[in-house]
């Protein structure tokens, strides 16, 4: 169990971590997700005791990382962004050194090194100097070093950066394996990675936690922001009037489909403005049926995690813009956005317009 309370890291006026609080429970794989420079590495460095925080506390299994650093650090295995390896040592020497540093008793040391060598598939390079290893192998040595002695908490900062696809899959499998009996925290700016491995996602942007949930729940949360693709045999005017009568909270783009007389329509529903009880597909079907305009195909699109991520980052950014311009239209924003309480309508409209423009260009 890890508790992070009100963490702040101030790099001379620049807040790398901005009042961050969260709790991590045992036996799950957690993913820190965020764009570059979001404060993921800084948070991890503070959690593992490498650097100090300006404010706030970190408790690892009840031990404060500042007050009882040795106890707290014993519970953690850490793989930083760049694996901290001495290039003048062999893999075996490095791992033995790490085992000794972590105070693994002498009798168990050999056993512990063997275990991690097997886990990270390092058997064939164990006698080689780290200087001569490729990036992928170095990363694996770093991982082996982090998990040596199997501490209850394993922290991995971008564990798959710079690896080839095969190695990425191998490392992911290893992480999943570790996740069965350990708490694993990993960071990444790659979404597919986090959603493939983690039980729980925490999205961080500019030092703030902007979402924390399971991947499924995050997708569900954003269902309102879904879209729909239709092919309708009608003219553009007919389509627009029919849809406008329905007064949907959506952006409508009509384009040529390539077949004569058939138009391609894409609907982008604004997030949170859709009544989840009501099935909009039915409404649309009957509306066009009443006009005797045949719908040839209809496909609803669920928001992918990718979109959830972008949406959340965008919301956080627009929040910041609001703050800095000081036009606080909180009431308005709330009424506009419903569940997701933050987005600002104007900015959203602008970005939607941009998306439309982009799509038009594409269709042309």
- Per CB under 8 A, residues contacting other proteins are 12, 45, 48-52, 69-71, 73-74, 76, 78, 80, 82, 84-89, 93, 97-98, 100-103, 145
CB of 201 to other proteins, least distance (A): 24
Of 142 and 207, CB closest to other proteins: 142
CB proximity list for 341: less than 8 A, separation 6 or greater: 333, 334
Whether the CB-CB separation of 313 and 243 falls below 8 Å is answered with: no
CB of 249 to other proteins, least distance (A): 50
Whether the CB-CB separation of 271 and 223 falls below 8 Å is answered with: no
How many angstroms separate the Cα of 152 from the Cα of each of 11, 76, 145, 156, 159?
A: 31, 7, 14, 13, 18
Of 85 and 222, CB closest to other proteins: 85
Q: Taking the mean position of all CA atoms in its chain, how far away is CA 247?
A: 34
CB of 194 to other proteins, least distance (A): 23
Of 130 and 265, CB closest to other proteins: 130
Which uninterrupted H or E stretch holds 101?
helix 91-101
DSSP β-ladder status, 29-33 and 200-205:
parallel
CB of 123 to other proteins, least distance (A): 22
How many angstroms separate the Cα of 302 from the Cα of each of 35, 59, 244, 271, 364?
A: 23, 38, 23, 12, 26
CB of 101 to other proteins, least distance (A): 4
CB of 355 to other proteins, least distance (A): 41
Of 94 and 336, CB closest to other proteins: 94
Of 88 and 334, CB closest to other proteins: 88
Of 106 and 180, CB closest to other proteins: 106
Q: Which residues in 270-325 belong to E strands, given as ranges? A: 295-301
């Amino acid at each position: 169990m890890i508790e992070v309370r009100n963490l702040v890291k101030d790099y001379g006026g620049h807040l790398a971590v901005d009042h961050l609080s969260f709790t991590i429970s045992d036996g799950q794989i957690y993913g820190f997700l965020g764009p570059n420079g979001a404060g993921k590495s800084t948070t991890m460095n503070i959690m593992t005791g490498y650097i100090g925080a300006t404010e706030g506390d970190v408790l690892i299994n009840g031990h404060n990382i500042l007050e009882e650093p040795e106890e707290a650090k014993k519970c953690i295995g850490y793989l930083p962004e760049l694996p901290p390896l001495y290039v003048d040592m062999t893999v075996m020497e490095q791992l033995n050194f790490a085992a000794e540093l972590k105070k693994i008793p002498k009798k168990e040391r050999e056993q512990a090194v063997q275990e991690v060598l097997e886990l990270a598939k390092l058997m064939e390079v164990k006698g080689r100097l780290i200087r001569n290893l490729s990036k992928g192998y170095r990363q694996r040595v770093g991982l082996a070093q982090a998990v040596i002695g199997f501490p209850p908490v394993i922290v991995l900062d971008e564990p798959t950066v710079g690896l080839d696809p095969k190695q990425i899959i191998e490392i992911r499998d290893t992480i999943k394996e570790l996740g069965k009996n350990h708490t694993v925290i990993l960071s990444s700016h790659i979404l597919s990675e986090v959603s493939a491995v983690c039980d729980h996602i925490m999205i961080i942007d500019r030092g703030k936690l902007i979402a924390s949930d399971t991947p499924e729940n995050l997708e569900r949360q954003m269902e309102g922001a879904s879209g729909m693709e239709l092919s309708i045999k009608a003219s553009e005017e007919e389509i627009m009037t029919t849809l406008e009568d329905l007064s949907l909270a959506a952006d409508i783009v009509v384009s040529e489909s390539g077949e004569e007389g058939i138009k391609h329509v894409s609907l982008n529903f604004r997030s949170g403005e859709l009544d989840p009880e009501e099935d909009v597909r039915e409404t649309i079907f009957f509306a066009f049926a009443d006009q005797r305009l045949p719908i040839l195909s209809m496909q609803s699109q669920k928001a992918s995690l990718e979109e959830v991520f972008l949406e959340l980052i965008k919301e956080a950014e627009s929040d910041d813009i609001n703050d800095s311009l000081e036009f606080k239209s909180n009431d308005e924003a709330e009424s506009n956005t419903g569940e997701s309480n933050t987005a600002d309508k104007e900015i959203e409209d602008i970005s939607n317009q941009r998306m439309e423009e982009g799509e038009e260009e594409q269709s042309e």
